[in-house]
Amino acid sequence: MATPAAPHAVSRLRTERLARSAKPFLARGGPKGERCAGCRLVPSHCICALRPVLPTRAGMCLLMADIEPLKPSNTGWLIADVVADTHAFGWARTEVHPDLLALLADPQWQPYVVFPGEFVAPERVVTQVAVPRAGVEPERWKRPLFVLLDATWPEARKMFRKSPYLDRFPVLSLQPEQLSRYHLRRSTRTDHFCTSEVGALCLALAGELQAAQTLEAYLDVFTHHYLQAKHQLPPDWASEAHQALRNASIGGAG
């Protein structure tokens, strides 16, 4: 098991959430539930040594439902692993973290709330992200900040409706052509994606192609290790998923 990297935003949020728990959160797997603090997998299947961290112009803001940071299968964690500029906040209906409001008001960012357009007033919906173009003055371009509602679908709908501080921002409605490849928790709708898949689609729209491909490959590797551990089988370190992650991590920037 590799030495875990410094805690990122989701890791810190998990620590804060555990500190508020009246009883311990017990995740299945591993001897006595033992899991790596860096990747949340059982120690024999740790992927900390494979963690790719990439600089991106785009940023991520995860609004996480109450127990999402505690779930070993949560994939918002993978976004924070890969995208250095990731922020994470717990969501509550009655209060908003002041740091979240400060982030949304920061003039360097253009927030996009990522949510299906069919549930939103048409005038708020966009399907593209502004990217810098030749001849555009840098100060006139804002870095995209993708606001992802990291929750189950019913929870995400409630979060969207009951977060009025998000109402002034455009809603990015993704139009993906591929079906979800996530196999750890399944939605009843095949057009619903896990948080990590949504993050990769957003990065691609922002022109961050290497980061998008790396995040996709990293999800595949994480899923492989998670399921192999669940079935008490060793990971296949020579698998196509591992090779794709190596290729993406050293590929040219998008």
pLDDT given for residue 206 in this prediction: 96
Contacts of 169 (CB under 8 A, 6+ apart): 104, 111, 112, 113, 147
> Is position 69 within any domain?
yes
Residue 183, Cβ neighbours under 10 Å: how many?
13
pLDDT along the chain (254 residues), means of 10: 73 90 53 80 96 94 95 95 96 95 97 95 94 65 96 95 97 78 54 87 95 96 95 95 92 47
pLDDT given for residue 29 in this prediction: 45
> Is position 1 within any domain?
no
Q: Residue 159 corresponds to which tokens in the numbers above?
A: 């979060």
Which residue range(s) make up the domain with 205? 9-23+34-130+140-250
pLDDT given for residue 33 in this prediction: 66
Q: How many domains does the chain have?
A: 1
> Is position 2 within any domain?
no
> Is position 92 within any domain?
yes
pLDDT given for residue 20 in this prediction: 81
Q: Residue 77 corresponds to which tokens in the numbers above?
A: 């964690």
Specify which residues 59 forms β-bridges with. 145
> Is position 29 within any domain?
no
> Is position 28 within any domain?
no
Question: For strand 125-126 and strand 171-172, is the pairing parallel, antiparallel, or unpaired?
Answer: parallel
Selection from 65, 103, 24, 91 nearest residue 195 by Cα: 65
> Is position 198 within any domain?
yes
> Is position 135 within any domain?
no
pLDDT given for residue 32 in this prediction: 56
CA distance 129 to 144: 7
pTM: 0.88
pLDDT given for residue 53 in this prediction: 87
Instruction: Please say whether the beta carbons of 76 and 148 come within 8 A.
Output: yes
